[in-house]
Structure 1
Amino acid sequence: MLTLPKSWMTLFSVILMLAAMLAGCGPGSNTAATEQENSPSSASPSASAPAASKGPAKIVVTYFPYADHLFALGKADAVAGVVNLKSLRDFTVYDPFLKDGRIADLGDQANFEKIVALNSDLIIASQADAPNLDQLSKIAKTVTVNATLNWQETIRGVAAAVGEEAQAEQYISQFLKKQAEASAAIEQSGEKGKSALFLMPWKKSFTYWSGSRMSLYYEKLGFRPFEGMSNVGEITIEGISKLDPEYIFIGKDYTNSSEITLKDLETNPVWNSLSTVKNKKMFVVDTEILGPLAMGQFKGLTYMQQLFTGGKAK
């Protein structure tokens, strides 16, 4: 019924890459951000150096999730260029920041010529950029923020790099408040503890996300996961039928690589036989709410709060 996928979509595959990188860092690697001066050695955490009151005016980001963090911190106007910017263009939550085309796409890999042309005064990198740090630090002040699986940790590192620590704490506080409101809405609706499956069409079947990968929705909001499912995998329509979830949240196929479309599902007899579909508890969602980044998860909380307020999900 369940099999591991042979390939991952761009945004979500980065989590597996990070896990491998973090395994090599060792338990003593607790530094959130380090500053790279014009020398091969890294210095102290950037938080130890006072930032200018207005912060950097032009920032280059070599790891696209950190652009999400800067947007959340209200620093969108300072973002001049992002490596792999296309990974953000697929998600509507970033439309307000990208629609004018002002932010330069620096390609799939760091393009030094393009970075130089932007004349930035700060480059924010991750530990995956270690081979390029010497070159980057010759272009502009470069700060490394260690990527982790928790955006609340990394947004603090990014905030320290730009002198916006208070703004990061405010954003996290707002997130936790929204989380409590969404959880209360689901509980008041009487739907807390109901089983839920989070999917996206993928090739001839579906990709699902579960376990710790979806802890926001399972542990924090109170949906019930299915035992034995990995954090991410593939599942067929028949497999979904056997699970018989009480709720299905299906993300849009932003990759356009699936042979199954949402339109096709409307006439699929197996899909239409699902109790979830019959009970009208299948919801099509923007795929970023299934992802690991700050703005997508905040959007997910807002969506759930609205959905379960006033009996809309019943």
Structure 2
Amino acid sequence: MTKFGEMLGQEDAAKKAIDKFTATFTQAKDQLKGVEGTVAYAQVREKTMWLQGTKYAGHYYEPLGLKPPEQANGDGAELSLEGITKINPDYIFLGYFNYTDKSLPALADEWEKTDVWKSLKAVKANHVYKINGAVAFGYGPISRTYGVNAIVSALKK
């Protein structure tokens, strides 16, 4: 953003945007101080689900003071229904890539009907949150701001 500001002669606007973005994360971390346990972010597609690792979704872990499941350290991994029981997070964010078109299939929709899914800690505690994965798992400040706001809205104590 700094480089774009320099290229466009908008250094002050870029700094203000960066400061606002930084403040969003700082405020979010303060609001999430009471969250205990592990938080898993999953990318939900039609036939697959991926645990988002700290290399990909790290900006939603440490900067927000949230603890990833051990399996999320690094790249993350493709999930199976049985595999998610080994992770058994306290909170799950399902980042649907069909979020705006519910007529498209998503693997999590099938999983939610199973006893295995219903046995998860996050499910039992009603700590499963659906977000727009196409936006939240993007790379820019708009995507990350959406993701942080969705997380805070769900977890704020």
TM-score interval, normalised by the smaller of the two chains: 0.7 to 0.9
SS of residue paired to 2:62: helix
- How far apart, in 2, do the equivalents of 1:263 and 1:227 lie? 25
Q: 1:228 to 1:283 in 2, by over 3 A?
A: closer
Partner of 1:237 in structure 2? 81
The amino acid that maps onto 2:91 is Y
Q: After superposition, give the CA deviation of every residue in 1:12-64 in whole Å (9 maximum; x if it has no partner).
A: xxxxxxxxxxxxxxxxxxxxxxxxxxxxxxxxxxxxxxxxxxxxxxxxxxxxx
Q: 1:237 to 1:262 in 2, by over 3 A?
A: closer
Partner of 2:59 in structure 1? 216
Q: After superposition, give the CA deviation of every residue in 1:209-248 in whole Å (9 maximum; x if it has no partner).
A: 1113222221111111233543243111111111110110
Over the aligned positions, Cα root-mean-square deviation in angstroms equals 2.3
Q: Is the 8 A contact 2:53 2:76 kept in 1?
A: yes
Q: 1:227 to 1:275 in 2, by over 3 A?
A: closer
Q: Which of 73, 80, 92 does residue 248 from structure 1 map onto?
A: 92
TM-score normalised by the chain length of structure 1: 0.44
Q: Is the 8 A contact 2:111 2:117 kept in 1?
A: yes
Matched, 1:296 2:143: yes
- How far apart, in 2, do the equivalents of 1:176 and 1:158 lie? 17
- How far apart, in 1, do the equivalents of 2:69 and 2:107 lie? 25
Q: Which runs of 4+ in 1 moved over 6 A?
A: none
Partner of 1:226 in structure 2? 69
Give, in angstroms, the shift of residue 252 of structure 1: 1.1
Q: Is the 8 A contact 1:265 1:271 kept in 2?
A: yes
The amino acid that maps onto 1:160 is E
Partner of 1:165 in structure 2? 11
- More RCO (CA 8 Å, sep 6+): 2
Give, in angstroms, the shift of residue 260 of structure 1: 3.8
Q: Is the 8 A contact 1:205 1:237 kept in 2?
A: no
- Higher percent of residues as helix: 2
Q: Is the 8 A contact 1:197 1:249 kept in 2?
A: yes
Partner of 1:175 in structure 2? 21
Q: After superposition, give the CA deviation of every residue in 1:226-277 in whole Å (9 maximum; x if it has no partner).
A: 3354324311111111111011000112498x86444333312211121111
- How far apart, in 1, do the equivalents of 2:44 and 2:76 lie? 13
- Bigger Rg, structure 1 or 2: 1
Q: Is the 8 A contact 1:198 1:290 kept in 2?
A: no
Identity over aligned residues, as a percent? 22
Q: Flag structure 1 segments of 5+ consecutive residues without an equivalent.
A: 1-154
Q: Is the 8 A contact 1:181 1:305 kept in 2?
A: no
Partner of 2:39 in structure 1? 196
TM-score normalised by the chain length of structure 2: 0.84
Q: 1:305 to 1:203 in 2, by over 3 A?
A: closer
Matched, 1:308 2:155: yes
Q: How does 1:24-103 map to 2 (within 5 A)?
A: none
- How far apart, in 2, do the equivalents of 1:199 and 1:214 lie? 10
Count the aligned residue pairs: 152
- How far apart, in 2, do the equivalents of 1:297 and 1:264 lie? 28
